[in-house]
Structures are given as C-alpha cells and as structure tokens.
Chain A
Amino acid sequence: SAVISQKPSRDICQRGTSLTIQCQVDSQVTMMFWYRQQPGQSLTLIATANQGSEATYESGFVIDKFPISRPNLTFSTLTVSNMSPEDSSIYLCSVEGWGRGGPEAFFGQGTRLTVV
C-alpha cells in the first residue's frame, strides 16, 4: 500500500493569486497523478507527473494554469495559477500501488480550495 500526505487540506484564496499543493508519498513511485473534483462532481485527471520529465496533461488542462513539479520519486507539487472562482474544487493526488491482491490507486485526502 501507499500512504499519501497532501498539504494543505484546505485553503481560501483570493482570485488572481496562486496556490501550491504538496503531495508526499511514503514510498518511491514512478508516476503520480493529479485529479480535480469539482463540487458534486466526479474526479477528472489533470495530469500525470513523472520524475525527470515534464508532466503529461489531459485535454482541457495546460501547464501554464497547472504547473507541476516532480523533483524526486516521493514528492510532487501542483500549482493552481491565477485562480478564479471556477477553480474552486477538491484537488487530489494519487499513486498506483499494490493493494489487496492487485494494483490499486491510492489517494491523498485532497485539498479543498475555495477561490473568492
């Protein structure tokens, strides 16, 4: 299994500012995933972060808005830049590990972001 620590757990930010979310895993992993969960909605993959290379972004998400760092195999950050109220969401970090008899996605507890 993998234990993921995500910080901050919540924040209220002014529009136009940026917030950096940190994700720390208790074991080395090749890929880390960042998801967005808009209010009352499902999880949408923002990007996949590989150590030593640029993150791979999903359709609708761009690096200028959501820059990602992956300095080592246990840590990643996601920055939400130039925030607007539409960015109010829960942001979740995830890694793939080995769970009960098979591969499993493990998640951090998420960062609840409110933009005012």
Chain B
Amino acid sequence: AQTVTQSQPEMSVQEAETVTLSCTYDTSENNYDLVWYKQPPSRQMILVIRQEAYKQQNATENRFSVNFQKAAKSFSLKISDSQLGDTAMYFCASSGTYKYIFGTGTRLKVLA
C-alpha cells in the first residue's frame, strides 16, 4: 500500500522569503517517482518538480528544490524567493505503476 502524508495543512510566507513544505511517504513499489503539484484557485494542477527515487541527487527547478531522504521516506519542497503567484495548494504525490497517490495538501499563502 502507498500513503503520502503532508502534516502542514496551511502555511504562510513573506514575499521573497524561503519556505519548506514537508511530505513523508510509504510505498511498496521498487520503482517510483515523487512529485509536487501546485493547484492555484483556477483548479489547474501544475507539476512543480519531480524526483526519480533511484536518483540520489536532489531535483531543482529554478526557485524550487527538494530534499529527498530515501531512508527516512521524506520529500520536502523548498521554495526560495517566494512570489505572490506561488500562493496555491501544494500536493505531494508518489507515482508507482501508472498510479499517483496524493497527500492531503498544504495551502500556502505568500504575503506581500
């Protein structure tokens, strides 16, 4: 069975500051990816960043980076230089065999 846990229902950060969103997971899959999706008020799910679990190097994508700790089954998202447009719901998910398991989400608000 796969589970994904996000323990922070809501967070806020000042514009230009850095924020870290937490995620832990459990999976029985040997081959899996971990992803962060962003869902702004428009409801459109947008992929933020993806980490292939077999890779040790943490993924980065411009202002977004992850801290992937495979042994601890932890996959946190760091947003640097936060912008107002980063305000959204963020979902962590694990991807196994054609199936995504999503966490309950963290609502992030960036404050001007």
Residues of A within 8 A of B (CB): 31, 33, 41-45, 48, 90, 92, 94, 96, 99-100, 102-105, 107, 109-110, 112
Complex formed: what's the CA distance from A31 to B100 in Å? 13
Given A48-B98, A96-B98, A102-B33: A42 and B104 interface contact (C-beta under 8 Å): yes
* Beta-carbon contacts under 8 Å, B18-57 to A: 33, 35, 37, 42-45, 47, 50, 52
Q: Is the interface of B mostly helix, strand, loop or mixed?
A: strand
Question: How far is the CB of B48 from the nearest CB of chain A, in Å?
Answer: 11
Residues of B within 8 A of A (CB): 33, 35, 37, 42-45, 47, 50, 52, 61, 91, 95, 98-105
A43: which of B44, B47, B91 is its contact (CB, 8 Å)? B91
Q: Are A103 and B33 in contact (CB under 8 A)?
A: yes
Name the residue of chain A whose CB is nearest to the CB of B91: A42
Q: Are A109 and B44 in contact (CB under 8 A)?
A: yes
